Amino acid sequence: MPHSAEPRLLMRGPLMVDIAGLWPTPEECERLRQPAVGGVILFARNCEDAQQVQALCREIHALRSPPLLIGIDQEGGRVQRLQKGVTRFPPMARLGQKAEALGLEAAQSLAYDWGRLLATELREIGVDFSFTPCVDLDRGISRVIGDRAIHRNPDWVGAIAARLWQGMSDSGLQGVAKHFPGHGAVAADSHLALPRDDRPLAAIEEDLQPFRSMIQAAIPAIMPAHCLYPQIDPEQPAGFSSRWLNGVLRGAMGFTGVIVSDDLSMVGAHVAGDMAARVDAAQAAGADLLLVCNDPNGAYAAIEHLQNQGMQTGTNTLAALAGAAGIPLSAPERARCMREITELS
């Protein structure tokens, strides 16, 4: 049941947390008002249908000023948290298959319409950004990535993902490219283990190409993987590695946007220590927004740790992930986009 309260004037903090159900409890509302919190990630358990999620977003946004950021994994296929009252998108591999069948330009055109429709639906209900697109390469190795990957060809992945992002941006939805520098060459699932990619940087360069394309297309955020690449950094996974985030991503590749950690509760993140140590390691490496999901105790520990050490808010940086008005999608255009996605499925 929705709760009403005067919005609290408070700059956004560096943590993105979750809630347990369809509505935040009074205790969760109080947690979301803590200075260390800057956003909320929605899962399937928070999404009954589009109407309910719209009311939920309205309530969450009303808790603070500036409003908390609201993000969701709405890739399509296996990873689409909200399903009722919105378009059911197929896995992104369908876009790569489209390129194989009809050419890259046809796939890019469809990707743009996909982004426009996805973003229009999510912005109508108040979501600020989606953790989309996944630009890992489909090497036939990673089951957790699988058909979430657009294709094996890095040039195609970058070109298609950039157009999908452009459609999202034109409709006012922000995006997050993931999982830097590439999760497609490891079999282990970082939710359950710490994957290890023993390739040298020269071999990984191919996986970096789609991220370069996304940076050129002005994607506002990139998420690093909880994967270890010992030829580049033998001690820290990418999400905790200054060599990767500051040296490669920001330095060599010139990315100036928001670095969003993957979930610090994942097993792949445990290498850094307890939750306080994970928070410190992610921030020291260069992350701006830190996810703590499906772990209320971990979220409380992260909040307490940051506030006890005199954290700095990330408002100026994190504002790049706030949803915008966007270009309206007319009813005929919307119907056409929906037909295209239905046919693709």
Print the SS3 string covering 284-340: HHCCCEEECCCCHHHHHHHHHHHHHCCCCCCHHHHHHHCCCCCCCCCHHHHHHHHHH
d(CA 241, CA 315): 23
Q: Which residues contact 271 (CB under 8 A, 6 or more apart)?
A: 194, 228, 236, 237, 240
Which runs of consecutive H residues, i.e. helices, occur in the chain? 26-32, 50-61, 93-102, 104-124, 154-170, 201-216, 242, 275-285, 296-308, 315-318, 331-344
Q: Phi and psi (nearest 5°) for 220?
A: -80, -15
Q: What count of other Cβ atoms lies within 10 Å of the Cβ of residue 105? A: 11
Q: Among this protein's residues, is 191 annotated catalytic?
A: yes
Q: Which residues contact 339 (CB under 8 A, 6 or more apart)?
A: none
Annotated catalytic residue within 170, 189, 191, 280: 191
Q: What count of other Cβ atoms lies within 10 Å of the Cβ of residue 135? A: 33
d(CA 330, CA 335): 9
Annotated catalytic residue within 136, 147, 262, 263: 262
Q: Which residues contact 338 (CB under 8 A, 6 or more apart)?
A: 87, 117
Residue 282: C-alpha distances to residues 14, 34, 62 (Å): 11, 20, 29
SS3 label, residue 37? strand
DSSP state of 17: E
Q: Phi and psi (nearest 5°) for 303?
A: -60, -50
Q: Are 151 and 207 in contact (CB under 8 A)?
A: no
Catalytic residues: 191, 262
